[in-house]
Amino acid sequence: MLSLGLLIITLLVLGWYYLKHQYSYWERRGFPYDKDAGIPFGCLASVWRMERGMGMAIYDVYMKSKERFLGTYLLYRPAVLVRDAELARRVLTQDFASFHDRGVYVEEEKNPLSASIFSLRGQSWRSMRHKLSPCFTSGKLKSMYSTSEDIGNKMVAHLQKELPEQGAKEIDLKEVTQTYAIDIIASVIFGLDVNSFEQPDNKFKKVVSLIRRNNRFAALIGMMIFLIPAIAKFMFRMGLRNPVAVALLAIVKDTIEYREKHGIVRKDMLQLLMQLRNKGSIDDDENKNCNIQTSEDGEIKSISLETITAQAFIFYVAGQETTGSTTAFTLYELAQYPEHLKRLQAEVDETLKQNDGKITYDALNKMEFLELCLQESLRKYPGLPMLNRECTEDYTIPDTNHVIKKGTPVVISLHGIHRDPEYFPDPDKYDPYRFAEETKNYNPIAYMPFGEGPRICIAQRMGRVNVKLAIVKILQNFNIEVMSKRELEFEISGIVLTPKNGVKVRLSKRVLN
């Protein structure tokens, strides 16, 4: 019994010394480092305490330092936070060869549901990006526009029912615009005809509730997937499942089976993914492992049902949240700046007048002040508040002797850079004019709302179009009541900037002449 006790004490002491050694990694290398990142969570202690989301915890580290780059710890793992905008852009673009992977959990063979374009590495990512790019050409977006417009009209009809004939009512714009985004994704990505405004309990919209789990276990899993992929790999091999991906797999399988049975062909992303899929019918054995098939040089030859779902999963999760939030954030800010609201309202009315009361795809993209407002919203509220990469070969930081070793995570606080007065004067102010040519007042190197370089968001143009259309539809049909200036609070779960308690704005019906 005594020997067992001594063994336990010895193991604890050795474990403690290991952690102390691990947490002195940057100090031993003479790196500038975050002195507040301590055992056992590093700079993410506030995430574990459920005080901050992961992106905002990284933002807190950014705000405490003035260094160009900073060593920190993501749980026990040494990582580099890049604070300098020029260096960040270099990591994402010019020196992409040294940082071409995100470093998040992915296991193509054992867990193909993890093999999304966001997570894939190396040649598998390059090949998937090449395969998916035709889904997001200008021609494809233009052909999708009528679908988005139809869903925008359903959103307007919903608000018309919600608002009184006289006077204003407070509306959670985040809920409304997220529903709009979900239905667009359901149609143009999955080929489903749903109306979540009239049928809010449909199975496609209900998947959102699985994403919004707000507890310590969900926060821990998120940290593992993004920051400690080796542990995430172990947990998934032990039986952990992604409930959102599993739910979407059932939807994708049913949709593909229905199309194949009835010979239905649609011009959407799912149809393209079906063309890439393994030939033959869908196997009824859910446990059969059917994976990405690659040639000797890593090129994707065909993809499985699970890998189709992995792509659909990332577009669902990222698209519905960022499109809905960006639309709501823009209208929320306009409600606090009546001079901007007035100018955008005038631009909407003039565009409608010039186009017989319609907002066409081309007309939408010619609205200059709307574009400035969107740019400022994406500056103040980037879809992802942090970008992450993994160093894929030893990298000497320019103009220094410091080396980032292969395998080291690298994080960029986009929220921090976009709110840094060094790059964006008066950063808390919502100022669309900072992006106008005649009044430009920002450092373009620091503006990266969708990331930069080869791994820039593949669906950014689709997202921009749908956000603009939703804003125009609301301004065309409703008045926004001006309110006092205030800042939003964000949820503590997940990576993206999710507004806490929604985005509340008072709307009233507009009397159209």
Residue ranges of the binding site for heme: 457
Per DSSP, 222 falls in state: H
DSSP 3-state percent helix, strand, coil across the chain (nearest 5) = 55, 10, 35
Residue 46 CA: distances (Å) to CA of 38, 41, 492? 12, 9, 9
Picking from 140, 97, 188, 177, the residue whose alpha carbon sits closest to that of residue 453 is 97
33 within 8 A of 48, measured Cβ to Cβ:
no
- Joined together, the tokens standing for residue 150 give 């139809």
CB atoms within 10 A of CB 86: 13
| DSSP output for 421-483 | TTTSSSTTS--GGGGSGGG--S-GGG--BTB-GGGS-TTHHHHHHHHHHHHHHHHHHEEEPP-
248 contacts 207 by C-beta, under 8 angstroms: yes
Q: Are 473 and 317 in contact (CB under 8 A)?
A: no
The CA-atom distances, in angstroms, between 393 and each of 50, 99, 102, 408 are 34, 8, 13, 9
Tokens describing residue 374 = 């969107």
**Euclidean distance between the first and the last CA atom of the chain, given in angstroms as a whole number:** 89
Annotated binding site: 457
